[in-house]
Amino acid sequence: MKTIDKYVFQALDNYPYSLEETIESLDYAFSYDAKNTMVLCLYGRIQAEQLWNYEEAKSYFQEALAINIHALEVYPYYIQTLILNEDYQEAQKLIDFALTVKGINKSDIYVKKTILLEAQLQFKEALTAIKNAKLYTLQFAFDSDITEVEKRIKSKIDLIKYKKKPKKSKKEVKKKSK
């Protein structure tokens, strides 16, 4: 095992529970190889998930993909960052491309597509995308995440349906109770 791998594993093991140790390990790994896509991806995740600095996170993810377009670890986090930053068109383009990358977890990418559609309040389209996520899932543990996203979208659909129902006046309620 290379020394850089040791530091990458330490960083991954520490994230997100010990950010100080994560950064320390990442800095060591980065000093060994400034073009390591896993290191750049984790730096991007810290920027997006912990510091909410989406523009900085995007630059880390872009750098990683410029180094290696097949850096599979980058796509889900980059897409999520684009969604959170409301860069919806860019997210859709990245999703479309990611689905063509050999070896990528298509189920994970379809979940991101579902979340993108959800963020745009396109709930029926989101349910279609979640079906694709279910079709492509190969991991049991990931199946429960898909189910949770589906439940959330269905509850939002129910919420909208509930809002659209006309409210009964107090007179109508009194008439029914008699």
pLDDT tens profile 80-117? 999 999 999 999 999 999 999 999 999 999 999 999 99
In a domain, 173, yes or no: no
Residues constituting the chain: 178
User: If 0-12 CB within 10 Å is exposed, 13-18 middle and 19+ buried, where does residue 57 land?
Assistant: buried
Q: Are residues 41 and 60 in contact, defined by beta-carbon separation less than 8 angstroms?
A: yes
Note whether 98 and 35 are same-domain residues.
Answer: yes
148 and 118 fall within a common domain: yes
Residue ending a domain, among 65, 82, 103, is: 103
Residue 176 in any domain: the answer is no
78 and 154: one domain? no
Tens-digit pLDDT profile for residues 55-76:
999 999 999 999 999 999 999 9
pTM of the model: 0.88
Q: Is 119 found in the same domain as 86? A: no
The pLDDT of residue 105: 94
Residues 7 and 58 grouped into a single domain: yes
Count how many domains the chain has: 2
Do 98 and 11 share a structural domain? yes
Residues 75 and 150 in one domain: no
Identify the band that residue 166 occupies on the pLDDT scale cut at 50, 70 and 90: low
Q: Which domain holds residue 117?
A: 105-164
pLDDT of residue 167: 60
Query: CA 139 from chain center: how many Å?
Result: 17
Whether 28 is in a domain gets the answer: yes
- Tell whether 170 is covered by a domain: no
Kindly state the helix (H) or strand (E) to which residue 23 belongs, with its residue range: helix 19-32
9 and 38 together in one domain: yes
